[in-house]
Amino acid sequence: MKRQSIQNALAIGIGAALTVAMATVDIAGQQPAAQGQGQAPAPAAQGQGQGQGRAAGGGRGGGNNQGRGGRGAPQGPPAAATPRWPDGKPILGSVPGKPVDGWGAGVTTLPQGMLDQVPFQPWARAAYDIRQIDQFEPHTRCKASGVSRQFSTPYGTEFVEVPDLQRMYILDNGGPNSYRIIYLDGRQFPEKIEPTNYGYSIGHWDGDTLVVETRGLNEKFWLDTRGTPHTKQLKFTERFTRLNMETLEYQATIDDPGAYTRPWTTTKFQLRRRAGEEPFEYICQQYNQGPELMLGTQESIDNSKFYVP
Amino acid sequence: MLKRLATAVCLLAAVAAFVATPRAQEGYPMTGTWYGDYGTGAQKKDVTFVMQWDGSKASGTMNPGPGSQPITSVTMDIIPGKAGGRSLNNPDAEAAVPPVFNVKIVVGDLTLEGKMMNPVGGNRSIVGTYTKGAEKGPFQIKHL
């Protein structure tokens, strides 16, 4: 019943957002350049070569997964300015009245470029090291994986802002095909939060940056494809800055006394816009090549069997 | 009567299914519930541990319920692993060596010392030796 309510609310919210937004918003190009943000170079061309594969949710994904297209492509003209809502806040999702956009994967491993500076507790570093060998990430078994792990799936994410409801949804197009809610209504965290895979996310604007703090995360997922560990004590803060039409900057601060000796902040990652790409239906459970890992002993994959019957 | 019986059976089945379902836990490896035994033959004893982690210390209970005992101490000694260079393109290079997790659980005069197998897997276990006064023998516990 609760799930039904959430689904209904989501559907209503998206519909309301699109209706209101189409009627009121100024689209990109009608707004001045982003305040305080220089024009970043245009992103790489949005290649279309990557098929909609069968593997579950991205797995280990390679070194610097930038979504479809990505690195190495020739640079084009400067990107358009950051699109904005009528109140001047940046639009992080699709621009109303324009084709729906998504964001490509941009985070491979949170310690990228700073592994030796990450203040792991000894057990956490050992767990991280083992996970470089052990590939059985929960996400590859179709487990919903919150916060930064949402930005590692090869099929990207879609941000759905619903100003009327003062919240935003981040839709996973991959993995278990689920979503995270970010409350933007100024609420406080509940005193007790039952830990879940996506946790409880509250956001606020700091200039042109959306700052989102998430608490109440359980320990059933990895923070990224490479196995950065955490515990239930984690407070995860994300900073989303749309540098221009094509680029979303992402940075996270990990405050988890259960796994680290002090809080630490990642480098800045960049997510690239997947222009005009509607999310498609991706059912992880259906396409998973290792269904025996979804439950049970999680010891091995039977490679002779490709599909769940 | 039949309806009540059916309800009771359904409830029992639901509880059994919940208990039997492996619950993944990817945080501190000792956290959660462990079940196993120590000793051999007729002397073998079942044992259950429930443990928590506060960020600097693990604690918990042995055999929760009547006759439960608090865990005196839990320590985990980690021997770091070694990165390896082996890959499909370089199959002759040295393989990576995973870290080793040595665990010691003390409950009163019972001491369990062993190695954690598959420490980041949902099916991890600890296998080793127990001592209790003059007694000594094997033990094994599995993470549920």
Residue-by-residue DSSP string for A264-304: EE---EEEEEETT-------HHHH-S-GGGTSS------TT
pLDDT recorded at residue B18: 43
Of A131, A132, A138, the CB nearest to B24: A138
pLDDT recorded at residue A280: 83
Q: Would you give per-residue pLDDT tens digits along chain B (144 residues)?
A: 566 665 555 455 444 444 444 456 789 999 999 999 999 988 899 999 999 999 999 999 999 999 999 999 999 999 998 877 776 677 777 778 889 999 999 999 999 999 999 888 778 899 999 999 999 999 999 998
Dihedral over alpha carbons B89, B91, B93, B97 (to 10 degrees): 110
Closest A-chain CA to B32: A219
Which is more confidently placed, A77 or B78? B78
How many Cβ atoms from other residues are within 10 Å of residue B25's Cβ?
21
CA pair distance A290, B102, nearest whole angstrom = 30
Chain A hits for B29, Cβ within 8 Å: 123, 127
Whether pLDDT at A308 is above 50 = no
pLDDT tens-digit profile of A185-223? 999 999 999 999 999 999 999 999 999 999 999 999 999
How many Cβ atoms from other residues are within 10 Å of residue B33's Cβ?
17
Share of chain A above pLDDT 70, in %: 68
Dihedral over alpha carbons A295, A297, A298, A299 (to 10 degrees): -160
Decide: A251 and A265 in contact? Cβ < 8 Å.
yes
Phi, psi torsion values for B118, nearest 5 degrees: 50, 55
A143 touching B, CB under 8 A?
A: yes
Residue A291 corresponds to which amino acid? P
Where does residue B143 fall: left (phi above 0), alpha (psi -120 to 50 degrees), or beta otherwise? beta
Decide: A59 and A105 in contact? Cβ < 8 Å.
no
- Pairing between strand B135-143 and B125-132? antiparallel
**Average pLDDT of the residues in A143-157:** 91
Q: How many angstroms away from the CA of A225 is the closest CA of chain B?
A: 13
Closest A-chain CA to B54: A258
Contact assignment for A122 to B78 by CB distance below 8 Å: yes
Tokens of A144: 């919903």
pLDDT recorded at residue B9: 55
Q: What CA–CA distances, in Å, run from A89 to A31, A172, A207, A208, B108?
A: 11, 24, 8, 7, 61
pLDDT recorded at residue A177: 83
**Predicted ipTM of the assembly:** 0.78
pLDDT band of A41, cuts 50, 70, 90: very low
State the residue for tokens 């310690």: A111
Q: What CA–CA distances, in Å, run from A2 to A8, A28, A196, A265, B58?
A: 10, 37, 15, 36, 36
Chain A hits for B24, Cβ within 8 Å: 138, 143, 220, 298
pLDDT recorded at residue B137: 96
Where does residue A175 fall: left (phi above 0), alpha (psi -120 to 50 degrees), or beta otherwise? left
Q: How many angstroms away from the CA of A132 is the closest CA of chain B?
A: 9
Chain A hits for B23, Cβ within 8 Å: 220
Decide: B138 and B40 in contact? Cβ < 8 Å.
yes
Of A123, A134, A143, the CB nearest to B76: A123
Whether pLDDT at A297 is above 60 = no
CA pair distance A132, B92, nearest whole angstrom = 19
The residues with which A239 forms a beta bridge, in sequence order, are A211, A251
CA pair distance A200, A281, nearest whole angstrom = 25
A39 touching B, CB under 8 A?
A: no
Beta strands in chain A (DSSP E): 102-103, 157-162, 167-172, 179-183, 200-206, 209-215, 235-242, 247-255, 264-265, 269-274
Tokens of A69: 């297209």
Contact assignment for B27 to A258 by CB distance below 8 Å: yes
Between the ranges A139-148, A167-176, A235-244, B17-26, where is the mean pLDDT highest? A235-244
Tokens of B49: 């541990």
Closest B-chain CA to A223: B26
**Largest Cα–Cα distance of chain B, in whole Å?**
70
The residues with which A43 forms a beta bridge, in sequence order, are none
pLDDT recorded at residue A233: 96
Whether pLDDT at A40 is above 60 = no
How many Cβ atoms from other residues are within 10 Å of residue A196's Cβ?
14
Which is more confidently placed, B92 or A41? B92
CA pair distance B122, A89, nearest whole angstrom = 44
pLDDT recorded at residue B94: 79
pLDDT tens-digit profile of A85-117? 999 999 999 999 999 999 998 998 999 999 999
Phi, psi torsion values for A81, nearest 5 degrees: -70, 165
Tokens of A237: 């803060």
